Amino acid sequence: MKSLIALFALVCASCSSNVYVVDEAGTPLPNATIVPLARSFSWPPVLTDKKGSAHIHQDIPTVETLRVYKVGYETPDPVRYDLPKPITVVLKRR
């Protein structure tokens, strides 16, 4: 039973949000687009939810950076994915 609970906790933890997108005031930005990038490959885009959060899976090829953008906001330089999680990306309004 203990091993089942540990497995459940591991599965839940692996699905939790690990990237948050906010504006300069710290307000969550829903529907921001996050594109995970590997050295020679880009994964399908992921949209943030109403809390400005998203979960990016670490797959093979390894995700190295994230490109984050939203209409009406400046697109920052790619964000390194190896930063401690959760990663908070701040977008500045144009």
3-state SS record for the chain: CHHHHHHHHHHHHHCCCCEEEEECCCCECCCCEEEEECCCCECCCEECCCCCEECCCCCCCCCCEEEEECCCECCCCCEECCCCCCEEEEECEC
Label residue 7 by pLDDT band (50, 70, 90).
Answer: very low
Q: How far is CA 85 from the centre of its chain?
A: 9
Q: What angle do CA 47, 48, 50 make, to 5 degrees?
A: 130
**Topology given in CATH for the domain delimited by 18-91:** Immunoglobulin-like (2.60.40)
pLDDT, tens digit (0-9, with 9 covering 90-100), for 20-69:
999 999 999 999 999 999 988 889 999 999 999 999 998 778 999 999 99
pTM (two decimals): 0.82
Indicate the domain borders of the chain. Answer: 18-91
